[in-house]
Structure 1
Amino acid sequence: MSELREGYYVPHSSHYPATLASGLFLLVLGFILQLNGEGLGKWLMPVGAALVIYVLFGWFGNVVAETQGGKFHAWEDRSFRWGMVWFIVSEVMFFAAFFGALFYVRNISAPELGQTGLLWPGYSGTWPTSGPAGKPFTPMAAWGIPALNTLILLSSGATVTWAHWGVLKNRRPQIIAGLAATVALGVAFLCFQAYEYHHAYSELGLTLGAGVYGATFFMLTGFHGLHVTIGAITLSAVLGRAIKGHFTPQEHFGFEGAAWYWHFVDVVWLMLFVFVYWL
């Protein structure tokens, strides 16, 4: 009842939702036009990206100011946590769709097409495959850069957990060191992935055009790389807040939300390593 009497903080009306929607629309429209060779696309994309970046800095800056100003209490904290939980659930469903596609083509579709021999004579249906009469390629080995990146992400999970302990014990140097190490490991992961993609395209013949294997490989690893990028940017912002002393053992959801997201990214990579690279 005390929480009910406190009420729920409702911010003033803002232009940020409409501005963000406009920015995303222009970004996607520009990308589609660019794919179709329309010159307008290269102008719309940067405008859309600039609007999105502007909203991210402005909107999240407002939320940080409201947090530091004591606007939020138990109800708001609970809603933030549930919002983050459902956001991660939606991300789980996003990757589940791609893992489901990989399972279907690898364990059901490709073997059945190989057994019938009705559509493409001579197609064996073995995995990995670039499809009937597809260009030859070499699959990505698991025990090179992918194994190194697995070690990097597992280490980053440990460093962000160490930083979390620092928050709970109110040890700011530990928070800063743990977050800085986590961001550095995330950047290292992305650099190795960029090198892996260059190696795949230039030496292995493994491209997006390499049939269903190439499509599933780059869709899964590429979207995961995008999530690592988002996570590293988010943790960099959290690091900046930690340097300013924003987090306390009692109020630190901004840190926890980013840490939850990073652990989710770690778990997805472990599944990628097993089902895309290893098996």
Structure 2
Amino acid sequence: MSNHSDKYYVPAQSPWPIVGAFSLFLIALGAGTTVAKIHQSGDPGWGKIVLIIGIISVLLMMFGWFRDQVKESMSGMYNAQLGRSYRQGMIWFIFSEVMFFCAFFGALFYARILSVPWLGGADNNAMTHEVLWPAFEVIWPLIKTPDGTETTAMGWGGLPLINTLILLASSVTLHYAHVGLEKNKRTQLTLLLAATVAFGCVFLGLQVLEYMHAYQDMDLKLDSGIYGNTFYLLTGFHGMHVTMGTLFLIVMLLRVMKGHFSPDNHFAFQAASWYWHFVDVVWLGLFIFVYII
């Protein structure tokens, strides 16, 4: 951050916040409509088109906003006070993401620790057991729905384990890329950051293969009871965050290749690093509580 100005920098009015808000609305509308129509008739209908438009709009918004931020930073418009604001903003953003995943983990734990035992007659809920689901067995994962539909639980070996190792490796490469930046070792920075981006892309590719295997071979779908719901919501939202994190790192890589950042001025890189390490920690929780236990 430049310290030449003692005044707090106030950016010009920007269209990107409202564009981003509208894009997220389109994504929510398109995704909800697509899921509902597929469940009803098997055809996503117009929901798929709205979803695609929303995703494209978000990408355009990110490109434009990043471009404006880079121009402002490289023009020396920022000072130390604004730098502290950026750090506080990023900390609060990651905190909000922590709360987001806590809500989904809370739903998972509520189902496993409270709902499933109650359906089995625990805590003097014998009538609940007899009325709602007489033949219910207290097991997790709950691979059988009340209508008799059965699915298969996703094991922790194979692709999930490989993806865990990939994300752990990506945290290591990103850490040492950051070390290279702090020591002004540009080759180390560039190569290890590129490796981190590659790990992120491989993770996403393997998750797509995992979902294809789950749908086609295991009959594990979003409507496969509470287990299918929690599995896809947790891993799907995490995959979305990995996608966002990979895009952040790609932007950082392009900036590094253009000679941006220095040992004393690289908060954008640091913010992307914080976000990526957060995504890795969330996956470790997912791997333990969704796949193993």
Matches within 5 A, 1:110-129: 110-115=116-121, 116=126, 117-118=129-130, 119-129=132-142
Encode CA deviations 1:46-105: one digit per residue, 9 max, x unaligned.
Answer: 444343332221221111111111111111111111111010000000100111111111
Residue 19 of structure 1 corresponds to: 19
**Aligned equivalents of 1:159 and 1:208: distance in 2?**
34
Residue 218 of structure 2 corresponds to: 204
Task: Identify if the C-alpha distance between structure 1 residues 19 and 173 changes in structure 2 by more than 3 Å, giving closer, same or farther.
Answer: same
Does 1:241 find its partner at 2:255?
yes
Matches within 5 A, 1:75-224: 75-115=81-121, 116=126, 117-118=129-130, 119-129=132-142, 130-224=144-238
Matched AA of 1:86 = W
Encode CA deviations 1:163-193: one digit per residue, 9 max, x unaligned.
Answer: 0001100111111111100011111111111
User: How far does residue 17 in structure 1 lie from its aligned partner after superposition?
Assistant: 2.2
Identity over the aligned pairs, expressed in percent? 50
Say whether the 8 Å CA contact 1:200–1:207 is kept in structure 2.
yes
Say whether the 8 Å CA contact 1:26–1:47 is kept in structure 2.
yes
Q: CA RMSD in A?
A: 1.9
Say whether the 8 Å CA contact 1:159–1:182 is kept in structure 2.
yes
Task: Identify if the C-alpha distance between structure 1 residues 197 and 41 changes in structure 2 by more than 3 Å, giving closer, same or farther.
Answer: closer
Say whether the 8 Å CA contact 1:134–1:211 is kept in structure 2.
no
Task: Identify if the C-alpha distance between structure 1 residues 49 and 271 changes in structure 2 by more than 3 Å, giving closer, same or farther.
Answer: closer
**Aligned equivalents of 2:106 and 2:285: distance in 1?**
12
Say whether the 8 Å CA contact 1:114–1:126 is kept in structure 2.
no
- Length-normalised TM-score, structure 1: 0.93
Task: Identify if the C-alpha distance between structure 1 residues 96 and 247 changes in structure 2 by more than 3 Å, giving closer, same or farther.
Answer: same
Alignment equivalent of 2:59, drawn from 41, 53, 59: 53
**Aligned equivalents of 1:40 and 1:157: distance in 2?**
39
List gaps (5 residues or longer) in structure 1.
none
Would you say how many aligned residue pairs link Structure 1 and Structure 2?
276
The 3-state SS of whatever aligns with 2:152 is coil
Does 1:250 find its partner at 2:268?
no
**Aligned equivalents of 1:28 and 1:22: distance in 2?**
10
- Length-normalised TM-score, structure 2: 0.88
43-52 or 258-267: bigger deviation: 43-52
List gaps (5 residues or longer) in structure 2.
38-43
